[in-house]
């Protein structure tokens, strides 16, 4: 008997090959709420006391807190040793699925891509982390130069004339753009009459919501039968009340709107401005730009396309890019250069003012700058082409799964993401897209349906950025194939998910009931434990 024959079988060498799908199980620490970990008298960190000479000098001085203004009882925060705080949060971190740990193609529209670790380290340097935003510019030349250089980069990528990096995220940049649109029309005496903004249903909800917040009536265009924004609907919608069109391209369907320049023309002819949402720019970096399509404003999400970490939902960073005609309305301050010296310009009469305190999310602007500088023009193009290749590759694998389909624009390639449908699978099995997503997580991946409303029935949206390997994409497709198979053969298994995650099926109804919802521990105690009103 040969050595190899002898060893075959469970429990012996050679160890058997892994099964096709990962036997994933996430950490399940069953971790209590932090308030339940309190131990009276424990301290997590000590604070330097005022020096005795200080205490003596101020004793009896005016300015003591009057009674009623000094807090009567210390806040009921947990009391824990430092290790126990750390351990609690490390356990919670293990119960969270970061990008770095999974094939994160399932959070479509979010452009989940690798955030280089070196950029985190650079952003953490005390030469940035400990910079106060109001320091004299002479002491902040390095960070101001990074802002200035990033502006030049985004000018090249968008073709626009000026950029502000002040917005704290993508939606804040959309709001900044709408605010500039409003100021532009007001300056031309049309602020009151141009009170409508047009957007499309496959543009991010914040386009509609920011426009409404800024005071506009919102008109939403629905796609034509092929999934494209409908040019005829736009022609019907524009008028002398049109302030702007906010439109994404490619939209969240991943379909490039080839008629985009005509959309811009229609709006311009009506006297409105055209605003390009470039949240989905990852597949078109260095391929096509806002400028050539005729746009007046556009925005990028630095936490998507430009790799800064998504941070559980921020801090992020947004960039608004504008033509020279819109530049006077940019928020203050702008970053300017005078020879070799960089400075901040607050003296801009027509500015919309402030979108955010100070100048923006410094560490993310640095990360985005470092990311571009690690790639260059050729690298950015490779990012775009690879993201698009990855998407079309994954798409071909997904469409092999019975019950999955790709609505709209049949035969057309997609750019960097695709919105699919499980309509057929749901009709056959009664299992819905949300349920498929929760079961997919049992295999160690994220999955997302789409923004509301579900124009595409039973939707799911996949966006495989440039960060993944072919085998990552194969693995993701195999997971969805497995779950679709389970839906057909054992729908109860899918509906009962999750099994391998930190918690089990959760009853979400209480979250919509004002009598029951509990947003804090104190609310929970009051409503469900002590019963005090």
Partner 1 sequence: MTAHPYIPNSEPRVRAQMLAAVGAASTEEFYAAIPAALRVDGLLDLPEPFTCEADLVRHVEGLLGRNTSTRDAISFLGAGCYNHHVPAVCDEVNGRSEFLTAYAGEPYEDHGRFQALFEYASMMGELLEMDVVTVPVYDGYQASATALRMCGRITGRPVVLVTTAISADKRRKIADYLLPDMRIRDLPASAGTGTLDEDSLAAALDDDVAGVYLESPNYFGVVETGIARAAGLAHRNSSLLVVSADPISLGVLASPASLGADIACGDIQSLGMHQYFGGGQAGYIAVHDDERFVMELPARLFGLAPTSVPGELGFGDVAYERTSFAVREQGKEWVGTAAALWGITAGVYLALMGPAGMTDIGDTILARTRYAMMRLDAIPGLTVRHLPSPHFREFVVDLTGSGAQVAAVDAALRSAGIFVGKDLSSEFPELGQSILVCVTELTTKADIDRLADLLKEAIVTR
Residues in region 188-217 near partner 1 by CB under 8 A: 204-206, 208-215
Strand partners, 220: 199
DSSP class of 223: B
Task: Write down the least CB distance from residue 484 to partner 1, Å.
Answer: 19
Q: Which residue from 220, 233, 405, 482 is in contact with partner 1, where contact means CB under 8 A?
A: 220
Residue keyed to tokens 């027509």: 350
Q: Which residue from 239, 350, 374, 530 is in contact with partner 1, where contact means CB under 8 A?
A: 374
Of 164-172, 239-247, 424-432, 481-489: span binding partner 1 (CB under 8 A): 164-172
Residue keyed to tokens 């949060």: 89
230 touches partner 1 by CB under 8 A: no
Count other C-beta atoms under 10 Å from residue 298's C-beta: 29
Task: Write down the least CB distance from residue 18 to partner 1, Å.
Answer: 21
For partner 1, give the closer residue by CB, 149 or 432: 149
For partner 1, give the closer residue by CB, 5 or 378: 378
Task: Write down the least CB distance from residue 455 to partner 1, Å.
Answer: 12
DSSP 73-107: S--------HHHHHHHHHHHHHTS--GGGS--TTS
Residues 327-366, interacting with partner 1 (CB under 8 A): 352-366
User: What angle in degrees, to the nearest 10, is found between the helix axes of 470-489 and 376-398?
Assistant: 20
Exposure of 130 by Cβ count < 10 A (0-12 exposed, 13-18 middle, 19+ buried)? Answer: exposed
Virtual CA dihedral for 369, 372, 373, 376, nearest 10 degrees? -150
Of 4-12, 37-45, 422-430, 484-492: span binding partner 1 (CB under 8 A): 37-45
Residue 96: which residues within 8 A CB-CB, separation 6 or more?
312
Count other C-beta atoms under 10 Å from residue 379's C-beta: 16
Bridge-based pairing state of the strands 273-277 and 297-301: parallel
For partner 1, give the closer residue by CB, 97 or 231: 97
Residues 129-148, interacting with partner 1 (CB under 8 A): 129-136, 138-143, 145-146
53 touches partner 1 by CB under 8 A: yes
Task: Write down the least CB distance from residue 505 to partner 1, Å.
Answer: 5
Residues 284-313, interacting with partner 1 (CB under 8 A): 284, 286-289, 292-293, 301, 303, 307, 309-313
Quote the radius of gyration of the chain (alpha carbons, Å). 27
Q: Which residue from 7, 8, 187, 377 is in contact with partner 1, where contact means CB under 8 A?
A: 377
221 touches partner 1 by CB under 8 A: no
Of 231-239, 379-387, 400-408, 487-495: span binding partner 1 (CB under 8 A): 379-387
For partner 1, give the closer residue by CB, 403 or 502: 502
Q: Which residue from 13, 16, 20, 124 is in contact with partner 1, where contact means CB under 8 A?
A: 124
526 touches partner 1 by CB under 8 A: yes
Q: Which residue from 7, 8, 33, 236 is in contact with partner 1, where contact means CB under 8 A?
A: 33
Backbone angles phi, psi at 94, to 5 degrees: -70, -20
The span from the CA of 246 to the CA of 181, in Å, is 11
Residues 393-422, interacting with partner 1 (CB under 8 A): 393, 395-396, 412-415
The span from the CA of 501 to the CA of 488, in Å, is 23
518 touches partner 1 by CB under 8 A: yes
The span from the CA of 456 to the CA of 418, in Å, is 11
Count other C-beta atoms under 10 Å from residue 217's C-beta: 12
Residues 476-505, interacting with partner 1 (CB under 8 A): 498, 501-505
Contact present, 80 and 42 (Cβ < 8 Å): yes
Task: Write down the least CB distance from residue 491 to partner 1, Å.
Answer: 17
Q: The tokens of 195 are what? A: 């009170």
For partner 1, give the closer residue by CB, 195 or 428: 195
Q: Which residue from 21, 34, 231, 493 is in contact with partner 1, where contact means CB under 8 A?
A: 34
Residues 231-260, interacting with partner 1 (CB under 8 A): 255-256, 258, 260
> Which bin fits 320, alpha (ψ -120 to 50), beta or left (φ > 0)?
beta
- H helices within 399-469, ranges in order? 423-429, 433-441
Residues 57-116, interacting with partner 1 (CB under 8 A): 57-58, 61-66, 68-72, 74-80, 82, 85-86, 88-101, 104, 107, 110, 112, 114-116
Q: Which residue from 118, 187, 236, 427 is in contact with partner 1, where contact means CB under 8 A?
A: 118
Of 11-19, 120-128, 239-247, 421-429: span binding partner 1 (CB under 8 A): 120-128
Q: The tokens of 250 are what? A: 């490619």
Bridge-based pairing state of the strands 162-164 and 318-322: antiparallel
Residue 173: which residues within 8 A CB-CB, separation 6 or more?
167, 299, 300, 301, 318, 319, 320
Residues 430-469, interacting with partner 1 (CB under 8 A): 437-438, 441, 444, 446, 448, 451-452, 466-469
Query: Could you tell me how far CA 155 lies from the centroid of its own chain?
Result: 22
Contact present, 394 and 473 (Cβ < 8 Å): yes
């Amino acid at each position: 008997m040969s050595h190899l024959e002898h060893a075959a079988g469970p429990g012996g060498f050679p160890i058997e090959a892994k099964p096709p799908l990962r036997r994933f199980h996430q950490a399940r620490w069953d971790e209590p709420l932090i308030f339940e970990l309190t131990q009276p008298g424990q301290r997590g960190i000590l604070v330097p006391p005022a020096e005795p000479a200080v205490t003596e000098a101020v004793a009896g001085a005016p300015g003591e807190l009057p009674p009623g203004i000094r807090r009567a009882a210390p806040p009921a925060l947990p009391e824990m040793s430092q290790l126990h705080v750390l351990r609690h949060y490390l356990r919670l971190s293990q119960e969270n699925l970061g990008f770095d740990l999974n094939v994160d193609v399932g959070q479509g529209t979010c452009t989940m891509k690798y955030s280089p670790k070196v950029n985190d380290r650079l952003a953490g340097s005390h030469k940035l982390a400990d910079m106060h935003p109001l320091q004299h510019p002479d002491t902040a030349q390095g960070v101001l130069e990074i802002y200035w250089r990033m502006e030049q980069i985004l000018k090249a990528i968008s073709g626009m004339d000026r950029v502000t990096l002040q917005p704290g995220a993508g939606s804040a940049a959309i709001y900044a753009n709408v605010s500039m649109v409003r100021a532009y029309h007001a300056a031309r005496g049309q602020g009151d009459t141009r009170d409508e903004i047009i957007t499309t249903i496959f543009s991010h909800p914040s386009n509609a919501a920011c426009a409404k917040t800024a005071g506009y009536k919102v008109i939403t265009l629905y796609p034509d039968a092929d999934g494209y924004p409908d040019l005829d609907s736009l022609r019907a919608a524009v008028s002398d009340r049109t302030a702007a069109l906010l439109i994404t391209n490619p939209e969240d369907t991943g379909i490039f709107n080839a008629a985009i320049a005509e959309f811009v023309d229609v709006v311009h002819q009506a006297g409105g401005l055209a605003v390009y949402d470039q949240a989905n720019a990852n597949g078109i970096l260095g391929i096509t730009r806002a400028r050539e399509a005729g746009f007046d404003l556009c925005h990028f999400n630095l936490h998507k396309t430009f790799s800064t970490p998504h941070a559980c939902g921020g801090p992020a960073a947004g960039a608004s890019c504008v033509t020279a005609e819109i530049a006077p309305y940019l928020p203050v301050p702008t970053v300017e250069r005078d020879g070799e010296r960089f400075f901040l310009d607050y003296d801009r009469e027509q500015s919309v003012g402030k979108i955010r305190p100070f100048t923006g999310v410094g560490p993310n602007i640095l990360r985005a700058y470092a990311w571009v500088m690690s790639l260059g023009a050729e690298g950015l193009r490779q990012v775009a082409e690879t993201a698009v290749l990855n998407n079309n590759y994954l798409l071909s694998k997904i469409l092999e799964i019975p019950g999955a389909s790709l609505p709209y624009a049949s035969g057309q390639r997609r750019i960097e993401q695709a919105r699919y449908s499980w309509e057929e699978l749901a009709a056959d099995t009664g299992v819905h897209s949300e349920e498929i997503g929760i079961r997919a997580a049992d295999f160690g991946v994220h999955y997302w349906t789409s923004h509301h409303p579900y124009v595409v029935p039973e939707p799911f949206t996949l966006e495989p950025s440039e960060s993944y390997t072919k085998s990552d994409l194969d693995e993701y497709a195999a997971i969805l194939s497995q779950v679709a198979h389970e839906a057909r053969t054992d729908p109860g298994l899918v509906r009962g998910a999750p099994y391998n995650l930190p918690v089990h099926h959760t009853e979400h109804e209480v979250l919509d009931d004002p009598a029951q919802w509990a947003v804090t521990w104190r609310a929970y105690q009051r409503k469900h434990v002590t019963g005090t009103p």
